């Protein structure tokens, strides 16, 4: 599984690890408790964990009129070392006063990088996985600035959305991507864009990321990284036809979102794919599967993505041994194939998969 660490945060002074838990909506309320249980099973491999339950999401909005309470943001900033976020149910229609709390949290905490590894589990321990790539998604701008207007023109209603790409955000995500690529054996970074059409916005993203090795602070650090480029539409095609050509992919917000969800099909299920939202001073794990309202409350949600996200979070904080134990346990459960949830063509429940992981830990 994904082993690389990026900008590992200092852990020297921690006597305990304070983890904010935000299950939010849908199956988030089922899989985040599983991640908590897995972390507790690590024992002395991490400082004594303290969990702080926090609220956010559509259900919070319908109850209080606020999707992301200021109290949640303040506690994360002041009292937590890291956090786990479950999933959010955002309505497809416009609801006055509502906006996605996960998008807002990324901006509030300056979690500018969404790192999503997509790795298959080889049938035999030690074999090379058939899929082993990372999508590094810029997390704060692009169309997700949510600046939309609707007017009435000559031909009826007209809707417009502002797409924001800045040099600062592109440079930061580029540096994160180069760090990741430099830490991996292949040292290959693919810049995803559509600058043949969006020559100004995607052009700025492309040019800024390409320039990262020339920055004074790079000082030759990325000389071994090979840079390639791919138009986003052909990248999707190649992702399904020959995923082995990709190592680290860096993309603006929307493209990264689409590519990482599409890549999940290569390893069997969105229920396997973890992520972290990372900044320079905080990290938040987040499974990428969404709230899955069709299976909410049935007890069959796959907890693996949330456990993997906990591992990513711990690794980013410098707790490599504990993270490796989580990943190894999950790999073994998948490899054995006896205890799997329905998304992986199994018949097991969320708790049964969790128990299988805990037995190995």
Among 269, 268, 307, 265, which residue's Cα sits nearest to residue 286? 307
Q: Does pLDDT of 285 surpass 50?
A: yes
Q: Which two tokens stand for residue 192?
A: 């995803």
Residues 68 and 31 sit within 8 Å (Cβ to Cβ): no
Q: For 138-193, what is each residue's pLDDT tens digit?
A: 999 999 888 889 999 889 999 999 999 999 999 999 999 999 999 999 999 999 99
Q: What confidence category does residue 8 fall into, taking pLDDT thresholds of 50, 70 and 90?
A: low
Q: Does pLDDT of 13 surpass 60?
A: no
Alpha helices in 3-94 (DSSP H): 28-40, 58-64, 70-79
Among 192, 261, 203, which residue's Cα sits nearest to residue 233? 192
Q: Does pLDDT of 221 surpass 70?
A: yes
* Structural domain boundaries in the chain: 1-117+269-361, 132-266
Q: Does pLDDT of 11 surpass 80?
A: no
pLDDT for 171: 97
* Same topology between domain 1-117+269-361 and domain 132-266: yes
Q: Which two tokens stand for residue 339?
A: 């205890």
Q: What confidence category does residue 94 fall into, taking pLDDT thresholds of 50, 70 and 90?
A: confident
Q: For 315-339, what is each residue's pLDDT tens digit?
A: 999 999 999 999 999 999 999 999 9
CATH architecture for the domain at 1-117+269-361: 3-Layer(aba) Sandwich (3.40)
pLDDT for 123: 85
132-266: what fold? Isopropylmalate Dehydrogenase (3.40.718)
Q: What confidence category does residue 1 fall into, taking pLDDT thresholds of 50, 70 and 90?
A: very low
pLDDT for 10: 52
- Whole-number Å distance between alpha carbons of 60 and 165: 31
């Amino acid at each position: 599984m994904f082993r690389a660490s990026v900008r590992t945060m200092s852990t020297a002074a921690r006597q305990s690890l304070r983890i904010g838990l935000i299950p939010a909506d849908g199956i988030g309320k089922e899989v985040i408790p599983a991640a908590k249980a897995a972390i507790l099973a690590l024992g002395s491999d991490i400082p004594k964990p303290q969990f702080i339950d926090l609220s956010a999401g559509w259900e919070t909005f319908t109850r209080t009129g606020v999707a992301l309470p200021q109290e949640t943001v303040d506690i994360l900033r002041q009292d937590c070392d890291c956090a786990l976020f479950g999933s959010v149910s955002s309505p497809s229609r416009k609801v006055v006063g509502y906006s996605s709390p996960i998008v807002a949290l990324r901006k509030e905490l300056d979690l500018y990088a969404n790192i999503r590894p997509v790795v298959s589990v080889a049938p035999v321990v030690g074999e090379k996985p058939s899929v082993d790539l990372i999508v590094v998604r810029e997390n704060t701008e692009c169309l997700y600035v949510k600046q939309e207007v609707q007017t009435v023109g000559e031909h009826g209603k007209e809707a417009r959305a502002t797409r924001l790409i800045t040099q600062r955000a592109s440079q930061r995500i580029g540096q994160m991507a180069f760090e990741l690529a430099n830490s991996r054996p292949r040292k290959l970074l693919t810049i995803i864009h559509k600058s043949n059409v969006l020559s100004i916005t995607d052009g700025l993203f492309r040019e800024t990321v390409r320039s990262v090795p020339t920055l004074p602070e790079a000082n030759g650090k990325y000389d071994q990284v090979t840079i390639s480029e791919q138009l986003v539409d052909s990248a999707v095609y190649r992702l399904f036809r020959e995923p082995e050509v990709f190592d680290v992919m860096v993309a603006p917000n929307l493209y990264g979102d689409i590519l990482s969800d599409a890549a999940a099909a290569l390893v069997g299920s969105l229920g396997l794919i973890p992520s972290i939202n990372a900044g320079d001073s905080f990290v938040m794990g987040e499974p990428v599967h969404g709230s899955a309202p069709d299976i909410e409350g049935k007890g069959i949600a796959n907890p693996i993505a949330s456990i993997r996200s906990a591992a990513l979070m711990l690794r980013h904080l410098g707790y490599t041994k504990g993270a490796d134990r989580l990943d190894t346990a999950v790999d073994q459960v998948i490899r054995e194939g006896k205890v799997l949830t329905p998304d992986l063509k199994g018949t097991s429940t969320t708790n049964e998969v969790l128990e299988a992981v805990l037995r190995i830990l």
